[in-house]
Amino acid sequence: MSVGGVRVTSLLRTAFDCMRSLPADEALVVADSLLRKTGRTAWWLVRTIKDAYCGWRGIGRALAVARFADGRSENGGESMARAAIIRQGLEVPVLQQWFFDPVEGLGRRVDFAWYNEAGELVAIGELDGACKLEDADKVGKGGATEVLSAERRRESRLTFSKVPVVRFTFAEATRDGYLRRLLTTAGVSMREPGAVWARVRRMGTEEHPVMVYDRVA
């Protein structure tokens, strides 16, 4: 296709090339970004890649990543943290869940939420970043103190959900073994051994997805 008179690959082709060649965590950043930009789902991405690039080299790797793609991931840091969760064999969280604050009478959104097989909330996860504190003086007169106070107040409201609220940094998320110990202590379960990054073979419909996959390394 042509953009500004320059011949380039399409958005889908570019994403596919990245997903089949980059390390899995970086590839997930690209896949999440594609879905966020297009408003599509992982089911659509898997189906489209299979239809458009069947038989291409690296398609299995791309499909392994596509299965976990989620456009609700707001930035690369969240995508990389989720990739670490997947790589360490932990249950994959639901992203950007809303919880009602009975004190303020408003909703509060969290980065990650884990549920058990019965659909019961198990734990809430928040990815901490230094940018909030570094830019605190620009946010308001209270500076870093006000930002920290607001974060503590927000976390106290989340505890009304009566589940652990787990905070971790990007560095902690990517540290081998640390995130596994942290989240399993909070009650997050491990997935089936070996089913870390999985290649999808067959799926149902977008409204009623059925994921059947092979275990891959």
Q: For 117-130, how does the pLDDT look when each residue is reduced to its tens digit (9 = 90+)?
A: 888 899 999 998 65
* Number of separate domains in the chain: 2
Q: Is 7 helix (H, G, I), strand (E, B) or coil?
A: strand
Task: For residues 59 and 113, state if they share a domain.
Answer: no
Task: For residues 11 and 75, state if they share a domain.
Answer: yes
Q: Grade residue 191 by pLDDT with cuts at 50, 70 and 90.
A: confident
Q: What is the mean pLDDT of the chain?
A: 80
Structure tokens at 69: 């793609």
Structure tokens at 216: 């891959």
Report whether pLDDT(204) > 70.
no
| pTM for the predicted model, two decimal places | 0.77
Phi, psi of 36 (to 5 degrees): -65, -40
Task: For residues 98 and 84, state if they share a domain.
Answer: no
Task: For residues 60 and 14, state if they share a domain.
Answer: yes
Q: For 142-166, how does the pLDDT look when each residue is reduced to its tens digit (9 = 90+)?
A: 566 666 666 666 666 677 778 898 9
Report whether pLDDT(203) > 60.
no
Are 71 and 78 within 8 A, CB to CB?
A: no
Structure tokens at 135: 């830019």
Rg (CA), the chain: 19
Could you give the C-alpha distances from 22 to 29, 65, 67, 154, in angstroms and in order?
10, 10, 16, 37
22 is in which domain, residue-wise? Answer: 2-88+192-215
Task: For residues 181 and 99, state if they share a domain.
Answer: yes
